[in-house]
């Protein structure tokens, strides 16, 4: 447990200033995330140092397809989330139902450094919602950077701008989970709102490597117009932002059928009218999806059991199209 950042006193209550919920928390109470608690008139991050998920994962699993392709990254998670999605696939982890080990930020960074010989490039804060693990993530990212390691955040992007900008100073790559491009969807299904996530994405572009994932749910956020609007928004920031359109499967409270694969593919084609790099996820073979030049169609990155990169100075060897492969070194 550690005293939290970004809060102010409000009498006996405390006002959390980390995310757009702006929780006012009574004595002995917790915020919506359930991991920021008013103890004796101060706000405490009660999940600080709690690590409930720890694994050396392929970077593509985050998913990050344009950041050190073919590498591994030590992935760590804790408990808590500031959204409440009825279709959450990690709900047991969010609730802290898995065994926990205690690791300081220094210990986590040392562990990551010790696995460099196995192909590890750094630390990914992932599995649940790292933004409500803020103090630990910030400290861990700083320690990782001191050891020459890369830092990755897989997040819902639901955060206020000031703490977001502070954290981005220490992050190399992001995958932001854009739940939908509809405020109605966010309010009805996630108990949040769209605008802060759009602002977080916009603020991150240009500061670190950014990729975006949207879980497509038929009848909810999988309409052609919505996907076109989402893609247009990203393209106004940078049309080279990789977008991952992932297939929904029943989870938690939602038991409606999985999204048809053909619909995912059709929506990906719509997104490709605006964006250069669109991938499909949770489909057979999608994990090994290749990266192709949007200009000439040449295969540039082949994924599978072994990842092969066919770039010359980050360019397509055939048409010379410049591919945004962050931190790629030949």
Task: Give the residue with greater pLDDT, 310 vs 209.
Answer: 209
pLDDT at 289: 84
- pLDDT tens digits for 85-131? 988 877 667 676 677 899 999 999 999 999 999 999 999 999 999 99
- Give the up-direction half-sphere exposure of residue 212: CA atoms within 13 A in the CB hemisphere: 31
The pTM of this model reads 0.95
Percentage above 70 pLDDT, the chain: 95
Indicate where the chain has its CATH 3.20.20.70 domain(s). 50-289
Backbone angles phi, psi at 210, to 5 degrees: -130, 130
Q: 50-289, what's its fold?
A: TIM Barrel (3.20.20)
The CA dihedral of 112, 244, 182, 191, to the nearest 10 degrees, is -30
pLDDT at 163: 99
Task: Give the residue with greater pLDDT, 259 vs 288.
Answer: 259
pLDDT at 99: 78
- pLDDT tens digits for 138-183? 999 999 999 999 999 999 999 999 999 999 999 999 999 999 999 9
Write down the residue that tokens 């290749």 correspond to: 290
- pLDDT tens digits for 176-227? 999 999 999 999 999 999 999 999 999 999 999 999 999 999 999 999 999 9
Report the C-alpha gap between 185 and 188 in whole angstroms. 5
């Amino acid at each position: 447990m550690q005293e939290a950042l970004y809060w102010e006193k409000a009498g006996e209550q405390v006002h959390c200033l980390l995310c757009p919920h702006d929780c006012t928390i009574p004595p002995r109470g917790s915020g919506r995330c359930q991991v920021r608690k008013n103890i004796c008139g101060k706000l405490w991050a009660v999940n600080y140092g709690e690590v409930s998920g720890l694994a050396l994962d392929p970077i593509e699993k985050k998913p990050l397809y344009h950041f050190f392709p073919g590498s591994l990254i030590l992935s760590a998670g804790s408990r808590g989330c500031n959204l409440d999605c009825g279709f959450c696939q990690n709900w047991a982890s969010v609730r802290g139902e898995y065994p926990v080990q205690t690791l300081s930020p220094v210990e986590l960074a040392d562990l990551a450094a010790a696995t460099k010989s196995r192909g590890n490039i750094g630390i990914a804060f992932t599995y649940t919602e790292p933004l409500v693990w803020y103090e630990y993530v910030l400290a861990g990212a700083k320690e990782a950077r001191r050891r020459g390691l890369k830092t990755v955040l897989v997040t819902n992007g639901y955060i206020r701008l000031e703490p977001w900008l502070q954290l981005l100073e220490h992050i190399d790559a992001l995958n932001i989970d854009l739940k939908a491009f509809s405020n109605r969807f966010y309010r009805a299904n996630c108990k949040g709102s769209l605008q802060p996530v759009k602002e977080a994405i916009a603020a991150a572009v240009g500061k670190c490597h950014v990729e975006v994932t949207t879980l497509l749910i038929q009848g909810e956020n999988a309409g052609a117009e919505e996907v076109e609007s989402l893609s247009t928004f990203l393209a106004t920031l940078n049309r080279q932002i990789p977008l991952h359109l992932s297939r929904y499967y029943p989870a938690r409270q939602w038991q409606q059928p999985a999204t048809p694969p053909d619909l995912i593919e059709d929506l990906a084609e719509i997104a490709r009218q605006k964006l250069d790099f669109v991938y499909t996820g949770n489909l057979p073979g999608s994990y090994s999806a290749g990266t192709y030049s949007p200009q000439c169609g040449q295969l540039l990155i082949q994924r599978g059991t072994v990842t092969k990169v066919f770039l010359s100075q980050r360019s397509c060897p055939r048409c010379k199209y410049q591919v945004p492969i962050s931190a790629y070194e030949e």
